[in-house]
Chains A and B, each alone.
Chain A
Amino acid sequence: MAEEVKLFGMWASPFSRRVELALKLKGIPYEYIEEDLSNKSPSLLKYNPIHKKVPLLVHKEKPLAESLVILEYLDETWKNNPILPQDPYERAMARFWAKFIDEKLLPTAAKVSHSTGKEQEQGVEEVHQQLKILENELKGKEFFAGQSIGYLDIVAHVLFWFYSAGEASGVNALTTEKFPIIYEWIEKLIKIDAVNECRIPKEKHQDFIRLRRESLKSASK
């Protein structure tokens, strides 16, 4: 029943899209509710009073927040098409790299997206270092999870945001020349239906980023 699972999300949020991708890959029917983050719905605030953020999953009226927590819950509740590895050590490694992406790479990328000049240059250098470390994990494999797409690919698919943001943030940190392996992986990903369905429209995304940069610039004056 689709009403059993509800996802409160936002089209430009990589965290929200990540949960959608997992739901689609596991074939879990769900109802999607788009949130206007400048005017959060009473439902969102009721179900996620602590962080008041998306994504928020509600399953049989029980709410869950934080995308990585949600991904693990989905995998434990719907056993078909498992996304996490079975072996505890492999799971620990997948979780480690997911944390690296969320706590290191993404904040640095946000810095690049929202800054200019020297600060942005520094940000780009940091992003490059981190992307190189991450790219290493792909060497010799089809996907981060091995032969087929899994948890870490779902978490890492946020790299699309770099790919799609491109010039809109003033600089393109993820280029084919510098990161051929990541590019190859992106090409493989977009051949998968579920991934394609979760892609954010490039132009809409670039407009969104430009608007954000403008508002940040005027806010800091």
Chain B
Amino acid sequence: MADELVLLDFWPSPFGMRVRIALAEKGIKHEYREEDLRNKSALLLQMNPVHKKIPVLIHNGKPVCESLIQVQYIDEVWHDQAPLLPSDPYQRAIARFWADFVDKKIYELGRKIWTTKGEEQETGKKEFIECLKLLEGELGDKPYFGGENLGYVDVVLVPFYSWFLAYEKCGNFSIEAECPKLIAWAQRCLQKESVSKSLPDQEKVYGFVLQLKKIFGIE
């Protein structure tokens, strides 16, 4: 029986990108459906009634919501191909810790950078860089967070790279100047087809952010 997999997504969503990368890494056939978040489909509302958000992964009619949960689900079901989480329980816990860290910090701080200005923005920038430096520390000398190959934390973090230009332009700073190792890591990830095909172009995301700023009246 063939597996039926549908991904409800929205092209600039870093959370959606995580799932795209995981599916691509494992070569899993699926149907991609673009959602218009100002006009959510009946299917989205039915499959994620609690949060009404994307991404939603629908596997043989059953929905899985929340990107970290989806990536772990994909890793567990398709465990034979390109494993994302390490096999050692302590290493798995460390990977989950850092994924949780990314979720708690990067999105909100990034958001602060493009939606605020003045002192609030400066604080956002400072904290954002501090978090990236902590992540650089965790990466160390490894080519990927997952070691020799792309792993869970790589999949969780790299989507935000597509938003870096937008953060830099809105915040008037250079992420590469502060965190060159992380930029080198991101570009290494982009060498992989699973990542390059899943991340939109940085300029496209920047254009999207400018549009959002206009709509929400943010200068």
Contacts and interface: CB of A to CB of B under 8 A. Distances in A.
Interface residues of A, number: 22
A92 B68 CA distance: 10
B: interface residue count bin: 20 to 34
A132 to B, nearest CB: 11
B184 interface: no
Contacts of A70: 93
Contacts of B35: none
Contacts of A133: 50
Interface in B88-142: 89-90, 92-94, 96-97, 100-101, 134
Interface stretch (B10-18, B59-67, B203-211): B59-67
Interface stretch (B24-32, B71-79, B168-176): B71-79
B97 A69 contact: yes
B81 to A, nearest CB: 15
Contacts of A64: 90, 93-94, 97
B106 to A, nearest CB: 14
A219 interface: no
A127 to B, nearest CB: 15
Nearest to A49: B134
Interface of B: 50, 59, 62, 64-66, 69-70, 72-73, 76-77, 89-90, 92-94, 96-97, 100-101, 134
B64 A92 contact: yes
Nearest to A62: B90
Nearest to B70: A92
Contacts of B93: 64, 69-70, 72-73
Nearest to B96: A69
Given A65-B97, A88-B76, A73 B90 contact: yes
Given A73-B89, A76-B92, A77-B89, A92 B73 contact: yes
Interface in A71-91: 72-73, 76-77, 88-89, 91
Contacts of B89: 73, 76-77
Most buried by A among B59, B96, B101: B96
